[in-house]
Structure 1
């Protein structure tokens, strides 16, 4: 009986410990599986971080965009293509957006050799950082660029260049003369973002025998009085790329008032012609991107450049419906060709 109980105890012990051993092995296997999964995930994360750091380290050009609009995307594509033509690999061009976390981290931006900004907001937020590589600003009017770089909080440690979005005043006035040879009184409305260009426009107008009819935006932003000055005295309105004057909120009233007064408008974008301006003089995203890419190549090559440049290539737009209502027959292609011939003259 004692032996039987002893055998039972031994068997029970063996079964119990065997079960415990199996459980322990099962738990260990599960833990090992989780451990392997965790290690695998950690290795993948480290790999991504290393790859990201390697990409940043290998970057030559950072392109910082204010937003993801179609215009910006087309400009980026043209910049990248032109850089590739100059030997900069696509993998060395990093495109970032202000909405992306860490986009304007100085340690990231300074990892390259050049920063290209698209839009005023991208430049403004880049310049307040401790940027130590050259910056090329694009898609920004001259007035906005000059205001930003003069602000005391913006102290870049490297040169800042600009490719102005607006066209030179001489080119705009020459187009006005070609399209409307009898228009001598040119209206303009100045706002906070453009008032610094008054002397330059006055000089260009005087050299062409034109007089300026000047309206001004009120301190509260109202354009009523300034627009009344234009409709009373001007023969044509030259729209200045100043968002405090010309924007989506003010444009309908400006175009309606000038249309009723039979005053044609020369604008600075294709969208304005579609909205009701008679003429536009602008550069397409592809034209802007091509020249920006060429300038970027020059900066990377150590060329000595002027800090601000105007666009060399441009497009003329005509609203044929508005032209007919004013009794005019205008051809955009012919105007563009005549303007380019005029600019080629010594």
Structure 2
């Protein structure tokens, strides 16, 4: 057996000749130079951590926005619901939603003058807000309506989350509700011509063939309708006064019933009146969209977002119409899930 010898003048054990080298290294005390380098590294690291902590503590907090909410009319249920939903969606957040009246009951001009941002619901409110010299975010307006206001106030700081749904979303609705449809006629007028052209860019083997059917004058509507319904499996209608105003919508629905062709539309009201299905943004969807943007707006000087389509949307399906046309339509939740899944891919 090997024993370890100790010298009387030293308290440290001397390594045995056959002791492994790695144990000798561990047992060896660090040199003075090693301790000095480690000490300097620790000091340097501590200084960096302290600098980062001070920068975080001294950084200015995100500035709250005073957001004036201007409605086109207090008599429109969609606007009232939007105001309530927006207040609920932003409760507890950094920004303040301040009612600034409506064009029926009167506008709080002082509120608009001092607001960091005006959210204008509806085209009349957008036009009124554009003259106030404040940044304006429009909602419940079509792209055509926004462009009309922009042309009248080219220097104003304007943007909008428009109601127009993306063309791909309309086609996803068609595939989900009418998977057997191969030819869809797209009815549009002058106000929706720019949106209609986007459908031509989506031609593919996965999508039904969409043919553009323009209405150049309201007097042409009936003739264009009958020609389109004869040659197509379904009719898609875009928001445009010439093809979807009250009188035009009546003609569209009556003629489509006569030809037993389903109509795909852009609002729940159109579906309740007799269209088969629609993809649209509800008041709650619009409120959520605005609340999401506000949550990312740190200061009044923030640039307005670009004009864009809504991110949130809903689906409406008229099952009574589906049964009358012998269409086996899925329920609304299933169709909504299918469209969302496509958009996440």
Q: TM-score, normalised by structure 1?
A: 0.74
Take 1:88 and 1:287, find their aligned partners in 2: how far apart are those partners?
Answer: 19
Counterpart of 1:138?
Answer: 139
Counterpart of 1:244?
Answer: 242
Counterpart of 1:122?
Answer: 125
Aligned pairs for 1:216-231 (under 5 A) are 216-220=214-218, 222-231=220-229
User: Which one of 72, 75, 82 corresponds to residue 79 of structure 2?
Assistant: 72
Take 1:89 and 1:125, find their aligned partners in 2: how far apart are those partners?
Answer: 21
Cα distance per residue 1:59-91 (max 9 Å; x no partner): 91211111121111010111222333322345x
Counterpart of 1:60?
Answer: 66
Q: TM-score, normalised by structure 2?
A: 0.74
Counterpart of 1:111?
Answer: 114
User: Which one of 162, 177, 180 corresponds to residue 178 of structure 2?
Assistant: 180
Cα distance per residue 1:171-230 (max 9 Å; x no partner): 110110122122122212221211122321211245744333332223356522221232
CA change 1:102–1:140 in 2 (3 A) is closer
3-state DSSP class of the match of 1:333? helix
Aligned pairs for 1:1-346 (under 5 A) are 60-68=66-74, 69-89=76-96, 93-102=98-107, 105=109, 109-127=112-130, 129=131, 131-149=132-150, 151=151, 153-158=152-157, 160-206=158-204, 208-220=206-218, 222-299=220-297, 301=299, 303-304=302-303, 306-330=305-329, 331-345=331-345
Take 2:241 and 2:294, find their aligned partners in 1: how far apart are those partners?
Answer: 27
Q: CA deviation at 1:98?
A: 0.8
Take 1:319 and 1:102, find their aligned partners in 2: how far apart are those partners?
Answer: 39
3-state DSSP class of the match of 2:243? coil
135-144 or 292-301: bigger deviation: 292-301
Aligned residue pair count: 279
Are 1:188 and 1:212, in contact at CA under 8 Å, matched by a contact in 2?
A: yes
Take 1:204 and 1:85, find their aligned partners in 2: how far apart are those partners?
Answer: 42
Take 1:83 and 1:118, find their aligned partners in 2: how far apart are those partners?
Answer: 17
CA change 1:333–1:232 in 2 (3 A) is same
Are 2:69 and 2:99, in contact at CA under 8 Å, matched by a contact in 1?
A: yes
CA change 1:222–1:126 in 2 (3 A) is farther
CA change 1:299–1:244 in 2 (3 A) is farther
Q: CA deviation at 1:249?
A: 2.1
Q: CA deviation at 1:124?
A: 2.2
Are 2:79 and 2:121, in contact at CA under 8 Å, matched by a contact in 1?
A: yes
Higher helix share goes to which structure? Answer: 1
- Superposed CA RMSD in Å reads 2.3
Q: CA deviation at 1:296?
A: 3.3
CA change 1:164–1:332 in 2 (3 A) is same
3-state DSSP class of the match of 1:96? strand
Gaps of 5+ in 2: 1-63
Q: CA deviation at 1:155?
A: 2.8
3-state DSSP class of the match of 2:68? strand
Gaps of 5+ in 1: 1-57
